Chain A
Amino acid sequence: MNARNLGSMRQSDSRSPCVEASLITSSPSLGGRGLEVRVVRKQTYPYPNPLPQAGEGKSTCKSGIVFGLALVLGAAIVFATVLPGCKKAGPPVSDAEVKAQFAKALPSTVDDPIWESAPLHPAKLLLQDLVEPRLMQTSTAFVNVQAATDGQRIAFRLTWNDATADDLPGAARFGDAAAVQLPALTAPDVPSPQMGEEGKAVEITYWSAVFQAVVNGRKDDIRAIYPQAAIDHYPFEAASLKAGSAAQQEMEKRYAPARSLGNPMSGPRKSPVQDLYAEGPGTLRLADKTVSSGMGKRTKDGWSVLLLRPLPQGVQAGGRSQVAFAVWEGAHQEVGARKMRSAWIPLALGASQ
């Protein structure tokens, strides 16, 4: 049984990712010991599991029928494993569009209860293979998207599978990252989904695992990246300079040009998120001010990231726009233009009842 033929288990607009049991009548790997019961943890759609883990929510799981069969066969171990899996309720799935649920108070974490009910859109990711440098090999296939809005701002929770947590910078080493893109101006004629186009800008909110690690407390220091580093001497840490003095800090800046120019890729860092603006590939620039916030958290299977940003100009509660997503898998050397990205996806904003 695979994910495709589980249709009968689906509710009209929601799918349960809970555990099911299946019977395997023979198993060469088990030496032909006759009837075996194997517990197969299956999701009802081929996307990462975005849901809270076992023990939360009410059961709507129809595979309890199958479970019952397994029980009849006397596999007590199945009971312990399967039952908790059936207890959770998934958020409704919205295949065609991202539905931002209206909420008076927007969530500030990826664990907020609102994500148990906000509709989930499994956004298919495509290779960025239109503009050099391109990504030639598929990595992250889907990102699960949920959204909530208060009419002024919009919160996205992005959840995706990623076997490796990549959050250290270095030569030939890249961090995991994700981004949300919206047209700067909502109009029937949308910009190109590939970073917008001249005269038709896009606004991007970008989260980086490297930034997040620093925000989480990793020291902004070379020894945090290379714990065995033995440093002879930095001129700006000379004994004659009082540590932390204005003169010392000024001198230290001179040895880090990108920092002294305020490049947002350099520290010090207080947020894992950047607001960006583009009018076509290669035109990406920092927005005049980063007003968005967010946080990312490592999950068992990958990342769960919250991005909270203002609604673009002309979009309001009850309205519609477009949204696109991108995910970078650091371990796959994905950076910049080398990314998995979605096409434009319709965005429907909920309104207060």
Chain B
Amino acid sequence: MARVYNWQLGREMSYWYPEQRPKRQFAAVFDTNKCIACQTCTLACKTTWTSGKGQEYMLWNNVETKPYGFYPMAWDVNLLEKLGAQNWDGQRYGGRTVFEAAQAGERALGWRPEEIDYAHPNVGEDDCVNGVEKGAHFSGVHNSWFFYLARICNHCTYPACLSSCPRASIYKRPEDGIVVIDQARCRGYQECVNACPYKKTFYNAMTGTSEKCIACFPKIELGMQPQCFVNCIGKIRFAGWISKPENARPDNPIDFLVHVKKVALPLFPQFGLEPNVYYIPPRNVPRDFLLQLFGPNVDAALETYRNAPKDKDLAGLLTLFGSTEMIVAKWKRADEQVIGYDESGKEIVRVPMREPTHVRQAFDAARNVARTNIS
């Protein structure tokens, strides 16, 4: 095991390989508050990449309803239970990562889902527990809560899948940090399935190999965002590049959200993989649950998010979500407009801070007809 620095933990940690960061790292921000679980992202991915034989129950992208939704079954709670209670000392993680908690003979602490665990994605997640009486209605404070968690591969800086592969069949692309399984080399040992805490590598029984999200790298190479990003109805997703904290640039959208405003947080940072999909936490979820999911910065992130209406830069950048298929490498706000640029500095999108409002009269005098909302 080597010693590597994980900025999400605020400390060094043990990892199978020495620290070797890519030239640039693919990253994303998901705003959980905007997700409506329409599963358009899931289908966009499914139809693009996993319509083959052996991929029937394989979802590189999935959206699950937390706290009781899982794909595969119990993916997070199983590992949390294995890992046991851990603690943060302020910004520094005082507990053990999956690498540090590895049992004898293993490269990471993990577990392997069985077929049945993949067999019922989303079934029952959003069902009402009890029947609803006729005339029932809600009044007062809503104590129940849930939120939708959209998940893809985190293209981690320290991937457990990569470190656990005894054949070194998994690699991080040096040009963009995307984690891929070499389909010519993989022998289907499923060690990666065992090790990935997020369970985002999948065994394909028809090809005899494991497969995973490739962040739509053929699109990334053309400067475009992946399919699940551009098809998102709620415009919750934003793809780009993340720097190390000490190199953060405010004009890089991902850096601005993650490092400058610290409004987007990694999912289960305590596992130690330095995942590169960052989440704006959901607003209406108990704090303890959010602390477990997103780490100690969750209070500050939510405070920043709640204040976004008063923060023109933050609010402005959030309007760029879902505004273009291209990757916005740089951005700036010019008064009431937000401008996105590609890698070369060319303007690719310009979005008003506030959409202009048009008021139409209820009655169209010219046509002598009353307008309806859908006309």
Complex interface residues of chain B between 31 and 73 (CB less than 8 A to chain A):
51-56
Which of B133-141, B187-195, B270-278, B337-345 forms contacts with chain A?
A: B187-195
Cα A225 to Cα B56 in complex, Å, equals 13
Which of A104-112, A255-263, A311-319 forms contacts with chain B?
A: A255-263
B105 with A256: CB separation less than 8 A: no
Which of B163-171, B223-231, B283-291, B313-321 forms contacts with chain A?
A: B163-171
B105 with A336: CB separation less than 8 A: no
Q: Which B residues touch A173, using CB under 8 A? A: 114-115
A132 with B106: CB separation less than 8 A: yes
Q: A169-B208, A172-B113, A261-B183 are in contact. Are A256 and B167 (CB under 8 A)?
A: no
Interface check B207, CB cutoff 8 A: yes
Q: A136-B105, A171-B118 are in contact. Are A258 and B52 (CB under 8 A)?
A: no
Contacts across chains A and B counted by CB atoms under 8 Å: 124
Identity of the chain A residue whose Cβ is nearest the Cβ of B211 in the assembled complex: A257
A261 with B184: CB separation less than 8 A: yes
Q: Which B residues touch A46, using CB under 8 A? A: none
B166 with A257: CB separation less than 8 A: no
Cα A24 to Cα B104 in complex, Å, equals 45
Q: How far is the CB of A198 from chain B (nearest CB, A)?
A: 14
Interface check A135, CB cutoff 8 A: yes
Could you give, for residues 100-140 of chain A, a 1 whenever the CB lies within 8 Å of some chain B CB and a 0 otherwise?
Answer: 00000000000000000000000000000101111110000
B53 with A171: CB separation less than 8 A: no
Q: How far is the CB of A194 from chain B (nearest CB, A)?
A: 12
Identity of the chain A residue whose Cβ is nearest the Cβ of B117 in the assembled complex: A171
Complex interface residues of chain A between 213 and 257 (CB less than 8 A to chain B):
220-222, 225, 229, 231, 234-236, 255-257
A256 with B166: CB separation less than 8 A: no
A282 with B168: CB separation less than 8 A: yes
Q: A256-B54, A258-B209 are in contact. Are A335 and B115 (CB under 8 A)?
A: no
A134 with B184: CB separation less than 8 A: no
Cα A168 to Cα B114 in complex, Å, equals 13
Interface check B186, CB cutoff 8 A: yes
Could you give, for residues 171-191 of chain A, a 1 whenever the CB lies within 8 Å of some chain B CB and a 0 otherwise?
Answer: 111100000000000000000
Q: A133-B106, A169-B188 are in contact. Are A256 and B118 (CB under 8 A)?
A: no
Identity of the chain A residue whose Cβ is nearest the Cβ of B116 in the assembled complex: A171
Interface check B129, CB cutoff 8 A: no
B166 with A337: CB separation less than 8 A: yes
Q: Which B residues touch A235, using CB under 8 A? A: 51
Complex interface residues of chain A between 255 and 285 (CB less than 8 A to chain B):
255-259, 261-263, 265-267, 281-282, 284-285
Identity of the chain A residue whose Cβ is nearest the Cβ of B167 in the assembled complex: A282
A259 with B166: CB separation less than 8 A: no
Q: How far is the CB of B223 from chain A (nearest CB, A)?
A: 24
B191 with A266: CB separation less than 8 A: no
Q: A132-B105, A282-B166, A336-B166 are in contact. Are A229 and B56 (CB under 8 A)?
A: yes
Could you give, for residues 59-92 of chain B, a 1 whenever the CB lies within 8 Å of some chain A CB and a 0 otherwise?
Answer: 0000000000000000000000000000000000
Identity of the chain B residue whose Cβ is nearest the Cβ of A137 in the assembled complex: B105
B184 with A171: CB separation less than 8 A: no
A171 with B105: CB separation less than 8 A: no
A258 with B186: CB separation less than 8 A: yes
Interface check A32, CB cutoff 8 A: no
A258 with B208: CB separation less than 8 A: yes
Interface check B173, CB cutoff 8 A: no
Identity of the chain A residue whose Cβ is nearest the Cβ of B118 in the assembled complex: A171
Identity of the chain A residue whose Cβ is nearest the Cβ of B214 in the assembled complex: A257
B203 with A222: CB separation less than 8 A: no
Complex interface residues of chain A between 319 and 337 (CB less than 8 A to chain B):
333, 335-337
Interface check A199, CB cutoff 8 A: no
Q: How far is the CB of A251 from chain B (nearest CB, A)?
A: 10
Identity of the chain A residue whose Cβ is nearest the Cβ of B188 in the assembled complex: A265
Q: A172-B114, A265-B209 are in contact. Are A222 and B54 (CB under 8 A)?
A: yes
Interface check A170, CB cutoff 8 A: yes
A265 with B186: CB separation less than 8 A: yes
Identity of the chain B residue whose Cβ is nearest the Cβ of A136 in the assembled complex: B105
Identity of the chain A residue whose Cβ is nearest the Cβ of B102 in the assembled complex: A132
A281 with B113: CB separation less than 8 A: no
Q: A282-B166, A336-B167 are in contact. Are A172 and B115 (CB under 8 A)?
A: yes
A255 with B53: CB separation less than 8 A: yes
Partner among A133, A256, A262 whose Cβ is within 8 Å of the Cβ of B107? A133
B56 with A231: CB separation less than 8 A: yes
Interface check B205, CB cutoff 8 A: yes
Cα A337 to Cα B167 in complex, Å, equals 9
A234 with B186: CB separation less than 8 A: no
Interface check B112, CB cutoff 8 A: yes
Interface check B206, CB cutoff 8 A: yes
Complex interface residues of chain B between 200 and 240 (CB less than 8 A to chain A):
202-209, 211
Q: How far is the CB of A229 from chain B (nearest CB, A)?
A: 7
Query: Which 10 A-B residue pairs are closest in the complex by CB-CB distance?
Result: A255-B52, A265-B208, A134-B105, A336-B189, A258-B207, A257-B183, A261-B184, A258-B209, A169-B205, A258-B183
Kindly list 11 other residue pairs between chains A and B, CB separation below 8 angstroms, not including A170-B205, A262-B184, A336-B187.
A131-B166, A133-B191, A136-B104, A136-B105, A257-B207, A258-B209, A261-B184, A263-B185, A266-B208, A282-B166, A335-B189
Task: Name A residues whose Cβ lies closer than 8 Å to a Cβ of B.
Answer: 129, 131-136, 168-174, 210, 220-222, 225, 229, 231, 234-236, 255-259, 261-263, 265-267, 281-282, 284-285, 333, 335-337
